[in-house]
A and B are shown apart, each in its own frame.
Chain A
Amino acid sequence: MGVDKPSQNLVVHDEEEGSERILEGSILLTKLEAIINWGRKYSFFLYPFVTACCGMEFMSVAGPRFDLDRFGAALPRFTPRQADLMMVVGTISHKQAPILVKVYNQMTEPKWVMAFGACATSGGFYDNYATVQGIDTLIHVDIYIPGCPPRPEMVIDGLLKLQQKVVKEKWADWPRGEALVKRS
């Protein structure tokens, strides 16, 4: 498996016992749920839903200096059908809300959503006729990152928190189903 230091969730049998001894530690016993969650948390395929100035900060955190690739979340997919982490980066206007919901519904499960920055989280300072007051009024959100825009360190912290969340997930958590609001 190439696992050097199994985390606490990966249950490894004592190597002194039974058949494992013959195989000299080349096998690893664990729960399927745990190993799949472990694989998921280190292989997010991003869908960058970038609408505003936070996009610059997204480019920074995805680029080589801060390097999301270190956490396995480096591969932006520009089709939602191949992605499992939607990063909503920037202000969502009411005109755009149906598009966001459509893209969310096109993603295959399991899927996670990161609200990146103040606008995606709550509408930010745009409390006006044009702006959605937080994307959680439309779709399920897993992790909120405050900041206008957030520092790359905050994004990395958010990603690590999301990884901790993914590790604890159960089979029964999926599927989540469609977005909270129906498209008219």
Chain B
Amino acid sequence: MELSLSLKKLKEKFSDSIIDMHAFRGDDTAIVKKEDILKINKFLRDDEELLYNFMIDLTAVDYLGREPRFEVVYHLYSLKYNRRLRIKARIPESDCTIDSCVSVWIAADWFEREAYDLYGVIFTGHPNLKRILMYQGFEGHPLRKDYPVKGRQPLIGPKN
């Protein structure tokens, strides 16, 4: 199957960083090494033929029981070319860190705080990495699959 322009360019430029890529029904997806995420994202934003200038979404996924356990997912959109691209970076539990992309897209700021808050992924280089939805003093990361279903940590009042 012929690769789309975005995936082709990625493969040419970062062949060592790409773990896998596929395009299911036109949804381009590239799975990359987490060490190179900043480099790749900067290229995708700045390349004249790509110009992924709009970061739509950034989130994390917990594949409990798989190694590496976590995955950070970027959804990108090029306003100029009307193209979409999904970038995934796998992260092991033992080294649960990835470079922050706030310097590439300012919009990543709160998304990364959310992923940190709910999944415990550390975004190194983030200017203000603290909880955004849960409160200070909350222990653990509630969207991790091993967070107890009945885990309750109220600020005041009974534990229900």
Contacts and interface: CB of A to CB of B under 8 A. Distances in A.
B64 to A, nearest CB: 17
B160 A95 contact: no
Contact of A129 (B153, B155, B157, B158): B153
Contact of B156 (A123, A128, A133, A138): A138
Interface in B110-160: 133-135, 142, 147, 151-158, 160
A141 B37 CA distance: 52
Contacts of A133: 160
B142 A184 contact: no
A87 B1 CA distance: 60
Nearest to B136: A95
Interface centre among A123, A137, A183 (most CB of B within 10 A): A137
A97 B156 contact: yes
Q: What class of interface size applies to chain A in its complex with B?
A: 10 to 19
A29 interface: no
Given A94-B135, A95-B134, A95-B135, A129 B156 contact: no
Interface in A90-106: 94-95, 97-98, 101
A65 interface: no
A137 B155 CA distance: 12
A181 interface: yes
Helix, strand, loop or mixed for chain A's interface? loop
A98 B155 CA distance: 7
Contacts, number: 42
Contacts of B147: 129
Helix, strand, loop or mixed for chain B's interface? loop
A183 B156 CA distance: 7
A181 B142 contact: no
Contacts of A183: 156
A132 B156 CA distance: 10
A123 B151 CA distance: 16
A59 interface: no
A128 B135 CA distance: 15
A130 interface: yes
Nearest to A92: B157
A101 B160 contact: no
A97 B158 CA distance: 11
A122 B153 CA distance: 17
Given A94-B135, A94-B153, A137 B142 contact: no
8 contacts: A94-B135, A95-B155, A98-B155, A129-B152, A132-B154, A132-B157, A138-B157, A184-B156
Given A95-B133, A181-B158, A184-B155, 12 more contacts: A94-B135, A95-B155, A97-B154, A97-B155, A97-B156, A97-B157, A128-B142, A129-B142, A129-B147, A138-B157, A181-B157, A184-B156
Closest 5 CB pairs of A and B: A133-B160, A129-B142, A94-B154, A181-B157, A95-B135
